Amino acid sequence: MTTLFVEQLTVIDCAYLDVARGLVGESWIVDVELEGALDEQSMVLDFGEVKRRLKRAVDTHADHRLLVPGRAPEAQWIEDGDAAHLLFRSDIGAIEHRSPGAAVLRIDTDEITPEAVATDLLPRLRAVLPPSVGGVRVGLRSERIDGAYYHYVHGLKKHDGACQRIAHGHRSRIEIRVDGRRDTALEHGVASRWLDIYLGTRADIVAHGSGRVRFAYTAREGHYQLAMPETHVDLLDDDSTVECIAGHLARGLAPQHPGREIQVRAYEGVMKGAVATARA
* pLDDT tens column, 159-181: 999 999 999 999 999 999 999 99
Looking at residue 42, what is its pLDDT? 86
- Alpha-carbon gap, residue 96 to 81, rounded angstroms: 16
SS3 39: coil
Q: Which residues of the chain have pLDDT under 70?
A: none
Looking at residue 231, what is its pLDDT? 98
Query: In one letter, which amino acid is 221?
Result: E
* pLDDT tens column, 9-62: 999 999 999 999 999 999 999 999 998 888 878 888 888 888 899 999 999 999
